[in-house]
Amino acid sequence: MDGSEVRGSHNATVIARYGERPGVASFTVWMPELPLTVHVGDTKLSQVRGWRAPDPASPGAFALKMPAGGGAASDEDLALAPQEDPAAPPASASSYSGACSVRYQQTPVQVYGRFVAVDDNSGRHSYLLSRRAQVRVTELVAHLLRVADTSVAILNHTTLMGRSPGRTEVQVRQEEGGRSCEVV
């Protein structure tokens, strides 16, 4: 299989050869029925009041800064500061750029698909497990997940993280076809 397949089959023939001995076997090939179903655990991601954190989409690492006196730090003394080189000494308190932003809730994203095989002769559709059963395929398509408006939310693998007020959708993008699924 090279990825160019467009449908499943009840009777896919595989020819194998071991030395001089050929062998033939028939298999059922299941293909996902499109569109896939995208499920978002929480469809409304609210701001977490009083929590400011580095923006997960901004580049660079962040380091914890300690007070200059070297003593015990209070909550007010601790700050997150950008640090270009992790091996470099921490920047002074006056050089902190304030790259923290408000924090929003996050939620898992799951993708489900129904698998079908079509009989070449009759055109009959058979479903894996049952017509209503869907199989979780999240890990198989995680690299194809996209957020329509990244100013509103971003994806960290399969976790949707809010960034600002607004509305967006999570899509499963085929590398060549461009089909998408809306969050419902």
In order, the DSSP letters of 105-121 are: -EEEEEEEEEEEEE-TT
Q: Do the domain assignments include residue 132?
A: yes
pLDDT tens, 116-165?
998 878 888 899 999 999 999 999 999 999 999 999 999 999 999 999 89
Q: Do the domain assignments include residue 134?
A: yes
Contact yes or no for 55/101 (Cβ under 8 A): yes
Q: Do the domain assignments include residue 78?
A: no
Q: Do the domain assignments include residue 31?
A: yes
How many domains is the chain partitioned into structurally?
A: 1
Quickly count helices (H) and strands (E) in the chain: 1, 14
Q: Do the domain assignments include residue 34?
A: yes
Query: From the centroid of its chain, how far is CA 158?
Result: 3
Structure tokens at 121: 């002769």
Encoded amino acid at 35, one letter: P
Q: Do the domain assignments include residue 41?
A: yes
Question: How far is residue 157's CA from residue 94's CA, in Å, rounded to a whole number?
Answer: 35
Can you spell out the DSSP letters for 59-108?
A: -SEEEEE--TT-SPPPTTT-EEEEES-TTSPPPPGGG----EEEEE-EEE
Question: Which are the contacts of 147, defined by CB distance < 8 A and separation ≥ 6?
Answer: 153, 154, 155, 160, 168, 169, 170, 171
Q: Do the domain assignments include residue 155?
A: yes
Rg (CA), the chain: 25
Question: Which are the contacts of 23, defined by CB distance < 8 A and separation ≥ 6?
Answer: 15, 16, 17
| Mean pLDDT, each 10-residue run in order, the chain (184 residues) | 70 87 90 90 89 67 48 45 46 52 91 90 88 94 93 94 92 60 35
pLDDT at 108: 96
pLDDT at 101: 80
Domain that holds residue 18: 9-45+105-172
Question: How far is residue 172's CA from residue 38's CA, in Å, rounded to a whole number?
Answer: 8
Give pTM, 2 decimals: 0.65
Backbone angles phi, psi at 166, to 5 degrees: 150, -175
